[in-house]
Amino acid sequence: MQIRFLGAVIFFCLFISCNDCDPISDPGKLLEVKFIDKGSGNDFVLGIDSLYGIGSDSILYEKSEEQSRFSLPLNLNDSVTSWVLNYIDTLKANDTISFSYNRFIQINSPDCAIYEVVDSIRVFQSPFDSSSVVLSSIQPTDEVNVEIYIQADENDG
């Protein structure tokens, strides 16, 4: 009987303590990447047939979704995620771009939520002209993390 009572008291205390936590947002795990025409500074729409992650069997984007900005999920079992861009123009070789990052666990409070944080994002490998890390950590917003600059005649699609 005393053990049940003690168990109920502990459960009640844990339940009450987590209700007092300040709500926080999990920052998410999507890397926001934007392609930009280096000459004009305007968005550069990629003519891709598909975009998929290396080690993943699913296509993330297909040609019906031509765009200049992509939300790329990260592989949280590694510190590098690579993506392959297959172009609509079959005369162009596929391009691979890789991003590296650090991961760590952040604790909201000892009694409440923990979540994985991704920061120190870097362009690890890129065939494109240049790139800039605008925001080096994943945020719960849709802010761009990386801008990749392309000469208009380099991969125009």
For 110-120, write each residue's pLDDT tens digit.
666 677 788 88
Amino acid at 153: D
pLDDT surpassing 70 at residue 98: yes
Mean pLDDT of 97-101: 93
For residues 147 and 10, which has the higher predicted lDDT (pLDDT)? 147
* Entry pTM: 0.73
Count other C-beta atoms under 10 Å from residue 123's C-beta.
Answer: 18
Q: Tokens for 21?
A: 């936590």
Instruction: Give the domain ranges of the chain.
Output: 23-150
Mean pLDDT of 77-100: 86
Mean pLDDT of 71-92: 85
